[in-house]
Amino acid sequence: MLQNLKQSFFNILNLNKKSPYFLTFDISSDTFKVYLNEEVNIENEYKLRVRHEFKEYVSSEVSSHGKVHNYEKALQALKKIMSEVETYTKGIKVSEGVLVVSGSNARSIMTTMQITRSSKEEISEAESSEIMQKVFENSYLDLSKIIYDETLEENASLELLDSFPIYLHCDGREVIDLIGENAHDIGVCFSVFFGRSDEIDVHRKLLRQVGISNLHLVSSNQAILKSLKTSKKDKIDAVILDIGSNTTEVIICFGGGVHLNKTLDIGGFDLTLELSEKLKLSYLSAEKIKRFYTFNKLKEKERDVVARILTYNLNHWLKGLVETFEDFKSVKTFPSDFYVVGGSSELPDVHEILFEEPWTKSIPFKEVPVYKKIDFNKLKKLDKAQMSKPNEDLIPVLASLMYLEIRGNL
Amino acid sequence: MKEVILEKDFTILKCLNLILNSQEEEVKIKISDGSILLNQKNNLRLLIRYLKSYGKVFKIETESLKGKEFLKSIFNEESEEGFLDEFKEMEESPISSQKLPKTLNPSKLQKFDFEKIKIFFSAKKIFLPLIIFFLIMGISIGSYLYIKSQNKVYLVLTVGSERFVKSFEVKLSSVSNTDLENKIMRVSKINQTSKIEKEAPTTGKAETGKKAEGEIKFSNSTDQDITLDKETELTFKDGNKDLVYLIKDKIVVPKRTLVSTNPETYVSGEASAETKASLFGSSYNISAGKSLSIKGVSSEKLKAVVSSSFDGGVKNTVNAVSLEDMKKLSDNLVTDFKSDTQNLDQPGKVFLRSSQIYNLVSEKFSPGLTEPSDILKLTQEINLSYLLYSESEALAFAKAIVKDLVPEGYELFGENLQVEIGILNLISVAGSPNDEAKAQLTIRSYKIPVINQDEIKENLKNKSVAQAKDYLDKLDLIYNIESNSLINVFGFPESKDKINVSIKNE
């Protein structure tokens, strides 16, 4: 009753009218990318349509590695983008946003817990919540130790972004929900996604200042994993390599969740910078050359020069990757399904070096790794008509899809 | 040991390349606070493993407490993995060092058998005083010779100098060889063609849509057949606006026919034609019965009336490519390219500013002029030619040119002169505007009296300090003798090689 009254009141004032658009922000590197999205109804099916991509190069002195180094300049760049958005939407203000938490700002861990109860009485809602709370606390503590080992940072500030169960066991039986079950022994396993709150808070403040009042955070780890699963129960085992601008993230997935992720501080930006120095070009021109090279648009002589510089530096990258894999002390054997995503994953040399170099020999893979690619065409809830660079924009698009699903629209 | 400083804004790749490209086997690495290498332990471990795999002897130094902790932790880990024997961590100093073990030789670790030595001495007791005597003598002689060999002298001579600056007008040529007599210096001409692309939003407008179509009936009231060609214009006056229609195919309207002689009655000849509007728009959708005028034919002779109403006319205005869009994009792309090609130095070669000639080889716009589109894309092929000179050749050229200008008894100070070349104007000799260039070559250096170092060394060797000073006082220059205290005992060394002479200008 009360709900109906509230609804009518809002209807009269036209207050609950949703803007057709929302924005997805990928602002962790030297280039801010903002995607204008909308839900569209195509043949009675709701889909995500990316209307436009707004891009602003801010340089690594302003933002890199998920950190904002010059707040004022970052704010200026976002204000410029928001003004372009408003021009594009013909004056419609967009206040709903999704922030992609990625690179070293996204941390994921899988936590298991065994609970032995004194009696087999029914599990109440309060007890279930208490177990969940304990799971989060344990995840936080485990991850803090890992972060300390990696960076010597004590009491890392982390923000819980999302979680989902990998399994819930009551006396050895798999159950859907703990509440209402009678069990002596409870076993739970959760995949938990955190974000580095110090950096997220800066991004949050920036976005609030440019008018994003309704912000949702999506972990890139979770968004990628979700796109690989055919169903919620899919117990996928895989290695995901996300080659971003400043970092290469290695995400290890077991049983349908993220076991752990680690980051190598080398990404596409570093390669462009090397090209820029060796070819004596500006950063943006070098980025253009890299793009031409990726799409095989250079002359043979130019291609050879670029290939030589890239291969030399990709060998350093590969050694770093081996180090990162070796740092997963808790993993005995790595899954053999190997997905490569991210802006620089399209570089032909990345595939060549990953496919041809015998680098995996020193890493305990379960079987010879099989390299796979996320098939854009299988994302049925995405209207692909307006997508020009699907692979480059993959992760923000996956985050947008995930957000719409959480919002209950898809 | 070469020192490499890794600044805080260097990427990991830049750090690795900087160290690995250094030819030195031993490097001292200073990591600045805030460097990406100190972001996480893995980054530093990657650097250290790299250094090891390249067999570099290295020292790592950092002011960062976190960095020191990382180093300590990594070296502890590495020691557990088998590097313990070769690694020595320096607890007190911020510097940590390590050398890669080439092979581990267990025999080196064997200890002396002190028991055997003890037995030897007791058995040969009688020779002991003699052995000790010779041992002391040997050590004394050896020490004397060693200390004497360490006697080195550094002599700094300060000479009066005069600034030497000369400018010449020279010709730089990519088609002729270097010719000192005519002051021609050979330079290289580089030709490169680049393909560049750029996109921009369009600002023009275009009309699209459908043209209205209908049928017109013609009535001929003359005694001659009237032929109307394809695309004959028919006009309907809609208020102040003239709506023009075009006949789709050629048509012949027959002459009138006599149907009765008394009274004389004629029936007009009639024919119908499919017709379409000349422009897009719904205003051309006119109804049946409307009369139109025919271009070139009087309405008294031939009438035109809409027999089947016009419909389907629609008009939309969309963004399109305008001439201004094309010009602006083309200008911007060329300007971008020019600003990207302002520094074209190559290793050992210097790019001559103002020698660039840009030629637009081809230009392709997509889509074309007036075509509807929100974005205009331009692909240009630009040919760039410019002049480069070799630093070493320019130095040799400059030295040869000024050779005769330095008075006898004088020389130019130092090995490297400062040479500057600035273009005055470009000259075409083989078809290109920049085959040659007239340029100003400026040489900057200092003129100093010729000092015969060999002669000075010869006169100083084996002399006492007082004798040496006497000799040096007679020369017209300021001198400074730098040495350790051994010079007071042994005087100047016997060998010329141990007397180093350096010359400083005032």
Task: Write the ipTM.
Answer: 0.84
Determine whether the interchain pair A316/B69 forms a contact, defined as Cβ–Cβ distance below 8 Å: no
Suggest the residue from B8, B13, B39, B81 to mutate for an interface test with chain A (most A CBs closer than 10 A): B13
Determine whether the interchain pair B13/A150 forms a contact, defined as Cβ–Cβ distance below 8 Å: no
Determine whether the interchain pair A313/B50 forms a contact, defined as Cβ–Cβ distance below 8 Å: no
Chain B residues with CB under 8 Å of A156 CB are none
Separation CA A110–CA A254 (nearest Å): 9
pLDDT of residue A9 exceeding 50:
no
* pLDDT value of residue A352: 82
Instruction: Tell me which chain B residue has its CA closest to the CA of residue A60.
Output: B9
* pLDDT value of residue A6: 44
Chain A residues with CB under 8 Å of B195 CB are 297, 299
Q: Where are the domains of chain B?
A: 2-106, 114-148, 149-160+451-505, 206-318
Instruction: Tell me which chain A residue has its CA closest to the CA of residue B339.
Output: A282
* pLDDT value of residue B232: 95
A-to-B residue pairs, Cβ atoms closer than 8 angstroms: 71
* pLDDT value of residue A11: 43
Instruction: Tell me which chain A residue has its CA closest to the CA of residue B35.
Output: A265
pLDDT of residue A4 exceeding 60:
no
* pLDDT value of residue B413: 73
Residue B315 · residue B209 · CB < 8 Å: yes
Determine whether the interchain pair A323/B14 forms a contact, defined as Cβ–Cβ distance below 8 Å: no
For strands A337-341 and A370-372, give the pairing.
Answer: parallel
Query: Average pLDDT over chain A, rounded to whole?
Result: 87
Instruction: Tell me which chain B residue has its CA closest to the CA of residue A327.
Output: B42
* pLDDT value of residue B414: 66
* pLDDT value of residue A137: 92
CATH 3.30.110 fits B206-318, yes or no: no
Suggest the residue from B42, B44, B346 to mutate for an interface test with chain A (most A CBs closer than 10 A): B42
* pLDDT value of residue A14: 41
B50 touches chain A (CB under 8 A): yes
Determine whether the interchain pair B17/A319 forms a contact, defined as Cβ–Cβ distance below 8 Å: no
Q: Provide the 10 A C-beta neighbour count for residue A157.
A: 14
Min Cα separation A303/chain B (Å): 12
The label of the residue with tokens 């020691």 reads: B79
pLDDT bucket at B158, cuts 50 / 70 / 90: confident
Long-range contacts made by residues B287-292, C-beta under 8 angstroms, separation at least 24? B290/B236, B291/B236, B292/B216, B292/B234, B292/B235, B292/B236, B292/B245
Min Cα separation B40/chain A (Å): 5
B392 touches chain A (CB under 8 A): no
Residue B214 · residue B309 · CB < 8 Å: yes
B207-219 average pLDDT score = 93
For A264-372, CATH number?
3.30.420
pLDDT of residue A317 exceeding 80:
yes
Instruction: Tell me which chain B residue has its CA closest to the CA of residue A321.
Output: B46
Min Cα separation A299/chain B (Å): 9
* pLDDT value of residue B117: 38
A225 SS3 class: helix
* pLDDT value of residue B478: 78
In the structure, how many helices (H) and strands (E) does chain A have? 10, 17
pLDDT of residue A27 exceeding 90:
yes
Distance from first CA to last CA of chain A, Å, rounded? 28
Min Cα separation B44/chain A (Å): 10
Separation CA B171–CA B426 (nearest Å): 10
Tens of pLDDT, residues B292-336? 999 999 989 999 999 999 999 999 889 999 999 999 999 888 888
pLDDT of residue B20 exceeding 90:
no
A325-339 average pLDDT score = 90
Min Cα separation B413/chain A (Å): 34
B11 touches chain A (CB under 8 A): yes
Determine which of A89-93, A202-206, A331-335, B112-116 has the lowest per-residue pLDDT on average: B112-116
* pLDDT value of residue B482: 75
Determine which of B141-145, B221-225, B373-377 has the lowest per-residue pLDDT on average: B141-145
Residue B236 · residue B245 · CB < 8 Å: yes
* pLDDT value of residue A409: 59
Determine which of A222-226, A384-388, B130-134 has the lowest per-residue pLDDT on average: A384-388
Tens of pLDDT, residues A188-204? 999 999 999 999 999 99
Separation CA A289–CA A277 (nearest Å): 13
pLDDT of residue B112 exceeding 60:
no
pLDDT of residue B109 exceeding 50:
no
* pLDDT value of residue B416: 57
B332 touches chain A (CB under 8 A): no
Determine whether the interchain pair B11/A61 forms a contact, defined as Cβ–Cβ distance below 8 Å: no
CB-CB: which of B12, B49, B66 is closest to A266?
B12
pLDDT of residue A5 exceeding 80:
no
pLDDT bucket at B141, cuts 50 / 70 / 90: confident
CB-CB: which of B39, B49, B340 is closest to A265?
B39
Determine whether the interchain pair B46/A327 forms a contact, defined as Cβ–Cβ distance below 8 Å: no
pLDDT of residue B476 exceeding 50:
yes
A58-69 average pLDDT score = 92
Share of chain A above pLDDT 70, in %: 93
Distance from first CA to last CA of chain B, Å, rounded? 32
Identify the residue with better confidence: B387 or A154: B387
User: How far is residue A251 from each of residues A201, A336, A341, B342, measured CA to CA in Å?
Assistant: 24, 13, 11, 43
Q: Where are the domains of chain A?
A: 264-372
* pLDDT value of residue B366: 92
Taking alpha carbons only, the member of A156, A195, A199 closest to residue A68 is A199
Residue B35 · residue B47 · CB < 8 Å: no
Instruction: Tell me which chain B residue has its CA closest to the CA of residue A274.
Output: B14
A244-267 average pLDDT score = 94
Chain A residues with CB under 8 Å of B345 CB are 280
Q: Choose the most confident range, by mean pLDDT, from A103-112, B77-86, B91-100, B117-126.
A: A103-112
Q: Can you spell out the DSSP letters for A2-16?
A: HHHHHHHHHHHHTTT
Q: Can you spell out the DSSP letters for B43-56?
A: HHHHHHHHHHHTT-
* pLDDT value of residue A12: 41
Min Cα separation A176/chain B (Å): 40
What is the separation of C-alpha B380 from the centre of its chain, rounded to a whole number of angstroms?
A: 20
B52 touches chain A (CB under 8 A): no
Separation CA B475–CA B470 (nearest Å): 9
Q: Can you spell out the DSSP letters for A13-79?
A: HTTTPPPSEEEEEE-SSSEEEEEEEEEEEETTEEEEEEEEEEEEE--TTTEETTEES-HHHHHHHHH
What is the separation of C-alpha A244 from the centre of its chain, rounded to a whole number of angstroms?
A: 10
Identify the residue with better confidence: A110 or B259: A110
Tens of pLDDT, residues B350-402? 899 889 898 888 889 999 888 889 999 999 999 999 999 998 888 889 888 88
Taking alpha carbons only, the member of B189, B173, B164 closest to residue B401 is B164
Tens of pLDDT, residues A72-101? 999 999 999 999 999 999 888 999 999 999
Query: Average pLDDT over chain B, rounded to whole?
Result: 82
* pLDDT value of residue B477: 73
pLDDT of residue B124 exceeding 60:
no
Determine whether the interchain pair A323/B42 forms a contact, defined as Cβ–Cβ distance below 8 Å: yes
Determine whether the interchain pair A152/B340 forms a contact, defined as Cβ–Cβ distance below 8 Å: no
Determine whether the interchain pair A281/B195 forms a contact, defined as Cβ–Cβ distance below 8 Å: no
Chain A residues with CB under 8 Å of B348 CB are none
